[in-house]
Amino acid sequence: MDKPYYTYNLRHIGRVVAVSQATKSIIHEATMSESKLFIPLIQVKSLQIISLKSTVKNWGLRRLSNSYLKLVSLFVVGVALSIALAACGSSSASNSDVKLRLVSFSVTQAAHDQIIPKFVEKWKKEHNQNVTFETSYGGSGAQAAAVIDGSKEADIVHLALPLDVNKIQQAGLIKKAWETRAPRNGIVTRSVAAIVTRDGNPKGINSWEDLAKDDVKLIAANPKTSGIAIWEFLGLWGSVTQAGGDEAKALDFVTRVYKNTSGLTKDAREASDLFFQKGEGDVLVSYENEVTLAEQNNQKLPFTVPQLNISIDNPVVVVDKNVEKHRTKEVAQAFIDYLYSEEAQREFAKLGYRSVNPLITQEVASQFPKVETLFTAQDLGGWDTIQKKFFEQGAIFEQIQAKSKA
């Protein structure tokens, strides 16, 4: 796009705008010919006054008349180097305020509320720049869809599962191989599945298998919109296949479990609210960290962490197209780097997340139940296979849902 220009007539104004060293030759030519100087119009945040007299001599502009030299030597209105860089597409050299847009899945809000102020303080101290955050929390699938359709122009996404990041990447907003740009393949938080019951566990629910009992009412979320719902589905499926059962047995078991649901919520937080606050259902499968948060909010209920469990891996990544548009790349990447720091990982651990930082993992090991066998999405074929096999239109989940309603 062509940039608009301001015109400065050196003969009448007696001052020029010095944008950067790169403009020296432009000013030289303009002053030598006593013609008009064209400077790209940029957003000026601050101006500083500098003497031009020595600058003119250094540039060797000896052909200027004495009267003209006196005229133009009065002052130069200089634009700081950071502004020049901003005009060339950089986002982070300016000391002006910057806003980051963070889109995340529903249950991370409590952790981000603790972590974001620490990052803001750190960045201000190190860069003398104010960072503000515009945050959005919801079901991971729905959040990914909003980023893709542009209704939420996220600079950073912290989502429930890599599958949702892959969808954003496939839409052209995130560059390929995003998982190689951060530690731990882009995974910044981890959890496992927890089975929560009512006081006294009246239905005797202690394992994955017990979720298929005829008299059990399960509160569950919808895999079309929710990250926990996908992890729950994979946990149920893997509880059979990773224990030696075949896929026919897994299909039968998962179908019976979903028959015990009366409806599917849009995300993990809504499911938790129905179960903990409104008292609906006999059992809830949720993130272990969500159960920990409920306990901290005086909503303690008995729960079991199955010994055969799925590693719930939550990725974080810069949304490349949006940070280029907003010129926030450097600060966005710095925030992601901070999420891996000991300070941030310690905050995650306080709220029940299993840290990806080995030092913090060792530090807080005693607060987490041990899991005997932990399987991953890769053990179930990887995310491309999982999406096609289970969650595309007409795939296994929709088949199961149809049978559950029959």
Burial of 21 (C-beta count, 10 Å sphere; 0-12/13-18/19+): exposed
The model's pTM: 0.75
Q: pLDDT tens-digit profile of 226-254?
A: 999 999 999 999 999 999 999 999 999 99
- Domain range annotation of the chain: 5-87, 98-189+315-350, 193-310+376-405
Q: What is the model's pLDDT at position 281?
A: 97
342 residue type, one letter: E
Q: Do domains 98-189+315-350 and 193-310+376-405 have the same CATH topology?
A: yes
Q: Can you say how many angstroms the Cα of residue 182 is from the centroid of all Cα atoms in its chain?
A: 12
d(CA 131, CA 326): 13
Q: Is 240 helix (H, G, I), strand (E, B) or coil?
A: helix
Q: Is 24 helix (H, G, I), strand (E, B) or coil?
A: helix
Q: What is the model's pLDDT at position 406?
A: 66
Residue pair 348/355 in contact (Cβ under 8 Å)? The answer is: yes
CATH of the domain spanning 193-310+376-405, picked from 3.30.1490.20, 3.40.50.800, 3.40.190.10, 1.10.238.10: 3.40.190.10
The helix (run of H) or strand (run of E) holding residue 187 is strand 187-191
CATH code of the domain made up of 98-189+315-350: 3.40.190.10
Residue pair 319/157 in contact (Cβ under 8 Å)? The answer is: yes
Average pLDDT over residues 112-126: 98
d(CA 54, CA 132): 41
Q: pLDDT tens-digit profile of 345-400?
A: 999 999 999 999 999 999 999 999 999 999 999 999 999 999 999 999 999 999 99
d(CA 11, CA 284): 78
Work out the pLDDT band at 76, boundaries 50, 70, 90.
very low
How many CA atoms, within 13 angstroms, populate the side-chain half-sphere of residue 159?
29
Tokens 């390929």 correspond to: 176
Q: pLDDT tens-digit profile of 302-311?
A: 999 999 999 9
Q: What is the model's pLDDT at position 168?
A: 98
**Is 267 a residue whose pLDDT tops 50?**
yes
